[in-house]
Amino acid sequence: MSDKIMELSPNLRKCRIYSEEPLEWFPAGGKLLCTLECEMRFTARQCGCLRPNHPLPPGLRACRAYKLACARHAGVSSTEFCDCPSTCQADRAIIRKQSFPLALNNATLDPI
């Protein structure tokens, strides 16, 4: 990518450079991760939890069964509110291994 393009404002170039406005929960700011983070924020705000298939940032929790309908609806609704422009650089895969310990003492069913 040309240095002249990088000097343009984001409004003029209509794309985002990875180093601009870094995402809070992901290491790089491609369109896909920006959209995922936006969906996660919206879901957490609407439901107080995240879908089970979302990565869990510190301080957030996965939705229990009774909140899954809220989370599913919030995930669909979030696309209206996400402003994630395409990246100027070619998208690249960023792979990071993450593991979480299993909570063996937690019940697998929600209380009735």
6-54 tens-digit pLDDT: 677 777 777 777 667 778 887 766 778 888 888 999 999 999 999 988 8
pLDDT at 67: 92
The tokens describing 66, both together, are: 């009774």
Residue 92's CB is within 10 A of a number of other CB atoms, namely 9
Fold of the domain built from segment(s) 7-80: Helix Hairpins (1.10.287)
Q: Three-state SS across 27-48?
A: CCCCHHHHHHHHHHHHHHHHHC
Give the predicted TM-score (pTM) of the model.
Answer: 0.65
Share of the chain above pLDDT 70, in %: 66
Contact 36, 27 (CB under 8 A): no
Rounded CA separation 91/73 (Å): 28
Report the residue count for the chain.
112
